């Protein structure tokens, strides 16, 4: 397996182009199955998860073409994928694929909404939690779907089609909101989703669905109303920039010091993280190219955070922020409220000499002056990039194992960091 070696200490200077958002691209690709027309998605990031989802969609009979870079586009310009779900065959996506790409379970929504039936493997848990799908299935049942479980597969049936309903989520769920939203576009009548997720990726999905002929209002608020239509048509849609990648690189600059333009970053997508970083002592200035992030030599200040659904502090930036706090002045209390096991990075950060104590759903981080490079292991996507952030500031060499986790969600990470002065290289497995 590939490894990444980092020699810490260099400040980051220059420009980092922000890629299309993984967590917008995945639901958008799945939404393409709601129509038999072609859906063209632009600025799709080159990520392992995107490739895996294309394989899973192909398993259901979705054809796709990927166009390379057009003349004048830079290496960072996202890829354009044209998806054609005109001849979908519903076969159960195999467990070994779905378990690696949890979001692929969401294909249940377009399959049952458009064809009246679906057979999808239960996704199972993952490193950060059990990740149940009970709320996704509750939403579908409210829309008139009968759900059965057989041999680890979910069998969903709606032979008479879906009918609009009131769906109230007891807790905010991004996946539940995506599934309810996609299915409701083809349901008979009106659907109201209460306590909906407000994440920007939900808004991006709703925008694309409306361009496909759906009638969705209220996306981005906790109450979304959908007037069902009989069919959707093709469209062209550009994937929004990745707010988690933006926040991740902002924390990398905060950690190393320096001055970097995060090109294409949108402040309105990560205002809570920007507010926290300013309290830490980082200068973040929106410009018309994106976000400029600066930090001079002054010591970082410890700040407490609690993760929350959007617009709160995103759980997907929690590990990265913890890495930053390992060198802050004082003690930071980091509380994780979304997932029950999202502190896998604590033991790995401790190998750099970080002082972190776990206390239930909170981690207490006592900042230290210096971290020392060490061999460490990535455990999940966002935890792995927190090790990169620590390695960038640690003295000496850091070697990160199991970097396939990184490749799931960060496009061209070594290239983007080394062009800003980081000493980072990938050691290809023999």
The catalytic residue positions are 126
What minimum distance in Å lies between the beta carbon of 8 and ligand EPZ?
Answer: 24
Beta-carbon contacts of 134 under 8 Å, excluding residues fewer than 6 positions away, are: none
Residue entry with tokens 């090109």: 263
CA separation for the pair 222, 225 (Å, rounded): 10
| DSSP sequence for 13-66 | EEEEEPPBPHHHHHHHHHHGGG-SSEEEEEEE---HHHHHHHHHHHHTT-EEEE
Between 10 and 135, CB nearer to ligand EPZ: 135
Q: Which residues pair with 334 in a beta bridge?
A: 305, 363
Judged on CB neighbours under 10 Å (0-12, 13-18, 19+), 207 is buried
Between 11 and 265, CB nearer to ligand EPZ: 265
Between 90 and 245, CB nearer to ligand EPZ: 245
Between 361 and 397, CB nearer to ligand EPZ: 361
| DSSP sequence for 115-128 | HSEEEEE----BTT
What minimum distance in Å lies between the beta carbon of 311 and ligand EPZ?
Answer: 12
What minimum distance in Å lies between the beta carbon of 231 and ligand EPZ?
Answer: 26
What minimum distance in Å lies between the beta carbon of 243 and ligand EPZ?
Answer: 11
Sign of CA dihedral 351, 424, 51, 53: positive
261 contacts 292 by C-beta, under 8 angstroms: yes
CA separation for the pair 325, 356 (Å, rounded): 10
223 contacts 263 by C-beta, under 8 angstroms: no
What minimum distance in Å lies between the beta carbon of 361 and ligand EPZ?
Answer: 11
Between 283 and 361, CB nearer to ligand EPZ: 361
Between 328 and 385, CB nearer to ligand EPZ: 385
What minimum distance in Å lies between the beta carbon of 23 and ligand EPZ?
Answer: 4
Strand duo 190-194 + 223-227: pairing: antiparallel
Residues near ligand EPZ, by CB under 6 A? 23, 26, 103, 129, 131-136, 171, 173-176, 315-316, 338-339, 381-382, 409
The terminus-to-terminus CA distance of the chain in angstroms comes to 8
């Amino acid at each position: 397996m590939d490894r990444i070696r980092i020699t810490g200490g260099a400040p980051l200077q220059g420009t980092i182009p922000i890629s299309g958002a993984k967590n917008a691209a995945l639901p958008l690709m799945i939404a393409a199955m709601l129509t038999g027309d072609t859906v063209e998605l632009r600025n799709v990031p080159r990520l392992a998860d995107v490739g895996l989802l294309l394989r899973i969609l192909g398993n259901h009979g979705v054809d796709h073409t990927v166009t390379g870079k057009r003349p004048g586009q830079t290496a960072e310009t996202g890829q354009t994928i044209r998806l054609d779900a005109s001849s979908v065959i519903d076969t159960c996506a195999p467990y070994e694929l779905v378990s690696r790409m949890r979001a692929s379970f969401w294909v249940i929504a377009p399959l049952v909404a458009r064809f009246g039936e679906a057979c999808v493997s239960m996704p199972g848990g993952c490193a950060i939690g059990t990740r149940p799908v009970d709320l996704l299935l509750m939403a579908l049942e409210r829309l008139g779907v009968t759900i059965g479980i057989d041999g680890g597969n979910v069998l969903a049936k709606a032979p008479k089609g879906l009918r609009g309903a009131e769906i109230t989520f007891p807790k905010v769920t991004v996946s539940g909101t995506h599934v309810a939203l996609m299915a409701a576009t083809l349901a008979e009548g009106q659907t109201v989703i209460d306590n909906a997720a407000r994440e920007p990726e939900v808004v991006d999905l709703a925008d694309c669905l409306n361009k496909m002929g759906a009638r969705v209002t209220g996306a981005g608020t906790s109450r979304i109303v959908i007037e069902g239509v009989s069919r959707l048509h093709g469209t062209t849609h550009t994937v929004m920039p990745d707010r988690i990648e933006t926040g991740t690189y902002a924390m990398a600059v905060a950690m190393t010091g320096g001055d970097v333009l995060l090109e294409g970053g949108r402040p309105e997508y990560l205002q809570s993280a920007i507010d926290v970083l300013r309290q830490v002592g980082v200068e973040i200035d929106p410009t018309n190219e994106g976000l400029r992030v600066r930090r001079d030599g002054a010591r970082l200040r410890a700040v407490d955070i609690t993760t929350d659904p959007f617009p709160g502090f995103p759980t997907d930036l929690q590990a990265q922020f913890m890495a930053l706090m390992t060198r802050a002045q004082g003690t930071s209390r980091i509380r994780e409220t979304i997932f029950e096991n999202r502190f896998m990075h604590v033991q790995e950060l401790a190998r750099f000499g970080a002082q972190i104590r776990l206390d239930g759903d909170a981690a207490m981080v006592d900042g230290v002056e210096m971290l020392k490079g060490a061999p460490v292991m990535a455990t999940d996507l966002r935890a792995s990039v927190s090790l990169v952030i620590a390695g960038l500031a640690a003295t000496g060499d850091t070697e990160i194992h199991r970097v396939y986790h990184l490749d799931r969600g960060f496009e061209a990470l070594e290239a983007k960091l080394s062009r800003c002065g980081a000493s980072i290289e990938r050691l290809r497995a023999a």
